[in-house]
Chains A and B, each alone.
Chain A
Amino acid sequence: MRRIAWFLILLCASVVARTQDLKIPPNIEKLSAKAKETVEVTMDAPMLRWASKFLSADDPEEQKAAKLVANLKGIYVRSYEFDDEGAYSSEDVETLRSQVRGPNWTRVVGVRSQRDGENVDVFFRLENDKMAGIIVIAAERKELTFVNIVGPLEVDQLADLSGEFGIPKLNAREVSKASKGERK
């Protein structure tokens, strides 16, 4: 009996661990059939280590990238660009958003624009007040993008990227405060 209980505990733990390291919902993958341009990047930890070996130490952009990905567990990107508006449904976007409804996830940015129809959500996954992942869902009129960066990602590191990749400078304190406030 005790063995069965242990087995169930382990099973639950593995399910929880899997859901925390969520990846790409399968229904989103189907959108590539309709898309004019599709970008699909799937890089788990070994792949990231492998790719970062080829980053040049002489190139400042690649140097920063190497530093950023050093401790990451995965980067998953799906970006679909369509010819026409309405190629994806609001349910598709909602499926993406529903992936990040959990105690560890905090929405730090949520923009709904009726004017230009561009909606952007940024979620941080926090563990012991440290960033453990980030998800960006950008739903534009003719483009849908889902970015999932898994792993210990310091806010400073993210801010450090600004300039090199055009990432906006995020105020680490504000982000931390906002996320704490939302979790309460």
Chain B
Amino acid sequence: MSRLDDELKRALRRAEAPPGFADHVLARVVRENRTRQAAISGWRQFFTRPILRLATAAALSTALVAGGAYYRHAQMEKAQRAEGEAAKQQLMLALRIASTKLHLARSKVNDVSDGNQNRHEKE
């Protein structure tokens, strides 16, 4: 047997629990349960008070209404922005068409005046 085996045996040797260990563990579990229950009943007590319950409901309702209003406002703003952009595109299109047709008029006038000039030069 090597020294390592001896050490392992010693380390893994069954050891008896100290007297009253189980009682200590059970007592601790009971104690922790009581603390947790006390905390829960404190919260319950908070909500059993009518004024606090009302205040909580009011705060929740206000938050919901405000959230809804904000969402609606954001949606409306988005829709208005889209409509405005469409109107802008229409405006730019109208101006472009107007400019194109004025350009056409201009080029026609130029064609006529150039033709007249050439005729005069030939004569």
Contact = CB atoms under 8 A, between A and B. Distances in A.
Do A and B interact? Answer: yes
Interface of A: 39, 41, 43, 47-48, 50-55, 61-62, 65, 68-69, 75, 77, 79, 109, 111, 113, 118, 120-122, 134, 136, 138, 140, 145, 147, 149, 161, 165-168, 170
A149 B109 CA distance: 21
B91 A48 contact: yes
A149 B98 contact: yes
B104 interface: yes
A93 to B, nearest CB: 14
11 contacts: A39-B93, A53-B84, A55-B88, A65-B92, A77-B97, A79-B97, A109-B109, A120-B105, A121-B105, A136-B98, A168-B103
A11 B103 CA distance: 39
Contacts of B97: 39, 41, 77, 79, 145, 147
A75 B95 CA distance: 8
Contacts of A140: 104
Interface string B90-123: 1111111111111111111101100000000000
Interface residues of B, number: 27
Q: Which DSSP category, helix, strand, loop or mixed, fits chain B's interface? A: helix
Given A51-B84, A55-B88, A167 B93 contact: no
A48 B87 CA distance: 8
A68 B87 contact: no
Query: Sorted from nearest, which 8 A-B pairs have the closest CB atoms?
Result: A168-B106, A165-B99, A51-B87, A111-B108, A167-B99, A41-B94, A54-B84, A54-B88
A140 B93 CA distance: 19
A65 B91 contact: yes
A138 B94 contact: no
A41 B93 contact: yes
Contacts of B103: 166-168
Contacts of B107: 168
B101 A138 contact: yes
Contacts of A118: 104, 108
Given A54-B85, A77-B94, A168-B102, 4 more contacts: A77-B97, A113-B111, A165-B96, A170-B102
A75 B87 CA distance: 12
Contacts of B87: 43, 47, 50-51, 54
A84 to B, nearest CB: 21
A166 B84 contact: no
A72 to B, nearest CB: 10
Contacts of A145: 97, 101
B106 to A, nearest CB: 3
Contacts of A165: 95-96, 98-99
Contacts of A109: 105-106, 108-109
